[in-house]
Amino acid sequence: MKTKLEVKNLSYSYHESTGETTALSHISFDVRDGEFFAVVGPSGCGKSTLLSLLCGLLKPEEGSILIDGIPREKSRAVIGYMLQRDHLFEWRSILSNVSLGLEIQNPRHRFPFARANAARRQTEEQNRRDLLQMLRTYGLEAFRDARPSQLSGGMRQRAALIRTMALKPDILLLDEPFSALDYQTRLEVCDDISSIIKTQKKTAVLITHDLSEAISVADRILVLTARPGRVKTILNIDFGPGAERPLERRNAPEFSNYFNQLWKELKYDETTV
């Protein structure tokens, strides 16, 4: 399996009037094509900073980020980003909300004037077909004209996923996308969304404070130390056939063993920093 994302010797510090705070120090890891990769660590260890660096919101002070072997700043890869909140706009319908990323990515003025009408019409028709298919697939077709307030928390997160997937991202970055949901809904939506991502063979990087969540979805888990975040270990997760979905993994006998391994890594780190 080829490498999709490669992080080499990555470091980043925040500079303020009160001094410098090192968030990440010499981080190195890789993510394989189609892999679901999770990142855990103590609060303040730089997990969100790492995602901001991966998507280009921040620039590394040291090190490099490669996508398909190309430096992040030169790559034309599309990065999808799912946040903790769904950020759906109440004044737009669900169909209009899931179309928002495409509207931003493909403003009309980018088409050559002489071919604008034909090119725009063909692109918009195909995008609309794709969106309607995803609404059907993800159980939201009946709510295409509804407002976000009419949907449950889990349905809103599925809408947020459709908005992200509509861009056909090469890599998905997931910033605790289930944390705002109640526990039961969180389990159901995590099972649903992660299964969709795996079925479509998308490369995904998830940051989470929830060790059980990381074990239930990930192929590998990166454990960061307390600030400044460094790579402490990378744990391979393998449940074998019959436990592909998160809820199935939670009921598998291997689950508690993986949880104890992660817990010991984090607990040991907290007592030695």
pLDDT of residue 114: 43
Helix (H, G, I), strand (E, B) or coil at 80: strand
How many Å from the N-terminal Cα to the C-terminal Cα in the chain? Answer: 36
Q: Report which of 189, 8, 33, 160 is spatially closest to residue 88, judged by C-alpha positions.
A: 160
The predicted structure's pLDDT at residue 15: 85
For 9-39, how does the pLDDT look when each residue is reduced to its tens digit (9 = 90+)?
999 999 887 778 899 999 999 999 999 999 9
pLDDT category, 113, cuts 50, 70, 90? Answer: very low
- Tell me what pLDDT residue 243 has: 86
What is the average pLDDT across 230-256?
A: 92
- Residues pairing with 171 in the sheet: 79, 203
Taking residue 92's Cβ as centre, other Cβ atoms within 10 Å add up to 14
Q: Is residue 95 predicted with pLDDT exceeding 80?
A: yes
Q: What is the pLDDT of residues 33-61, one digit of tens each?
A: 999 999 999 988 999 999 999 999 999 99
* CB 229, CB 41: distance < 8 Å: yes
Amino acid letter, 27: I
Do residues 26 and 8 lie in contact, with contact meaning Cβ atoms separated by under 8 Å?
Answer: no
Please write the tens of the pLDDT for every residue from 172-221: 999 988 887 888 888 888 888 888 888 888 999 999 999 999 999 999 99
CA dihedral 49, 154, 221, 11 (to 10 degrees): -10
d(CA 98, CA 229): 35
Nearest to 95 by CA among 149, 152, 134, 122: 134
CB neighbour list of residue 267: distance below 8 Å, 6 or more residues apart: none
Q: Which residue has the tokens 């103590």?
A: 42
Say what percent of the chain tops pLDDT 70.
Answer: 91
Residue 271 has pLDDT above 60, yes or no: no
* Fold exhibited by the domain 3-77+170-272: Rossmann fold (3.40.50)
Q: For residue 247, what are the contacts with CB-CB under 8 A and spacing of at least 6?
A: 187, 191, 216
CATH 3.40.50.300 residue ranges of the chain are 3-77+170-272
Give the whole-angstrom CA distance, residue 95 versus residue 140: 9
> pLDDT, tens digit, for every residue of 55-72?
999 999 999 999 999 999
